[in-house]
Structure 1
Amino acid sequence: MSQLKPYQKDFSSELNFTTSRSSGPGGQHVNKVNTKVTLRFDIDHSEMLSAEEKAVIKEKLSNKVTNDNFLVISAESERSQLKNKEESIKKFLDLLKQAFKVKKKRKPTKPSKTAVEKRLTEKKKQSEKKQMRQKF
């Protein structure tokens, strides 16, 4: 039985949505309809995440986490509230995926012997060229 990664779990029961009026152009439609969707996720009270996963989210997504440990994401690019809701969920899952991505360790490498030799011979040629230009 394979264990699901945190961003593959179903968080729908733990997500809270609020709607408000979108900003920007759009005329009467924007002024009348609440199409902006704000997603709020309570990190501390999540039952889907372990303590380590909560700590990782707080650390890596700190610019999107409020002082009371809510992850806040908003979407207002679409004219439809439903599409904005779907977009905010997609943003949420992408952020989780990004937060839990494990970086590859860098393997330190050395230049090859031929590369070192080539660099030194080039330096020697350059210095000889400069030596030839000098006045005595």
Structure 2
Amino acid sequence: MADDLTVTRTLVIPAGELRERFSRSSGPGGQGVNTADSRVELSFDLAASPSVPDWLRTRMLGRLHNRLTGGVVTVVASEHRAQLQNRQAARERLARLLRDAAAAPPAVRRATKPTKGSQERRIAAKKQRSRTKQSRRPSSWD
């Protein structure tokens, strides 16, 4: 339960559905970079996951379609020297990505008309501006 990935209060991805791959990182670490597999690739098969409800899976697949490879979403973390820190960073990144994809769509904006008072104020302001500009012009070329 401790290794499960909590995306939202209701959506928790079991650790068994996550795949981690480790490789050598190109980031900081000096000579240790050449020996330690600190880079982490964390993959989650969104299309085949039994822990994601069908209605939510459809929404998430639509929003992540450009990040998926065969229904699998993958994040990479290699910014830290330690593998453990990179594992944590990859899990946080995946959780944030899935949380954003699972978020409810924004409410549809209903078009509204300007009120009569706001229309009158707008026209009055335009007329005042016109009078100001008119007063700056020379009166005539006589």
- Which structure carries more helix by proportion? 1
How many residues are matched?
A: 132
**Aligned counterpart, 2:80:** 78
Q: d(CA) in 1 for partners of 2:106 and 2:96?
A: 19
In structure 1, runs of 5+ residues without a counterpart are: none
Q: Residue 52 in 1 paired to residue 52 in 2?
A: no
TM-align CA RMSD: 2.4
Q: d(CA) in 1 for partners of 2:125 and 2:68?
A: 54
Partner of residue 66 from structure 2, selected from 63, 66, 69: 63
**1:54-107 C-alpha deviation (Å, 9 max, x unpaired):** 2222211223211x1210111112222122112211211111111111133134
**Aligned counterpart, 2:92:** 90
- Contact map agreement 2:47 2:61 (CA 8 A) in 1: no
Query: Sequence identity of aligned pairs in percent?
Result: 32
In structure 2, runs of 5+ residues without a counterpart are: 1-6
Q: d(CA) in 1 for partners of 2:17 and 2:37?
A: 22
Q: d(CA) in 2 for partners of 1:96 and 1:27?
A: 34
- Contact map agreement 1:7 1:97 (CA 8 A) in 2: no
> TM-score, length-normalised on structure 1?
0.81
Q: Residue 40 in 1 paired to residue 43 in 2?
A: yes
Q: d(CA) in 2 for partners of 1:52 and 1:8?
A: 13
**1:16-62 C-alpha deviation (Å, 9 max, x unpaired):** 00001111343201121100110111123211123332222221122
| Equivalent position SS for 2:104 | coil
Q: Which deviates more from structure 2 when the two are superposed, residues 70-79 or residues 103-112? A: 103-112
> TM-score, length-normalised on structure 2?
0.78
Q: CA deviation at 1:112?
A: 3.7
- Contact map agreement 1:6 1:96 (CA 8 A) in 2: no
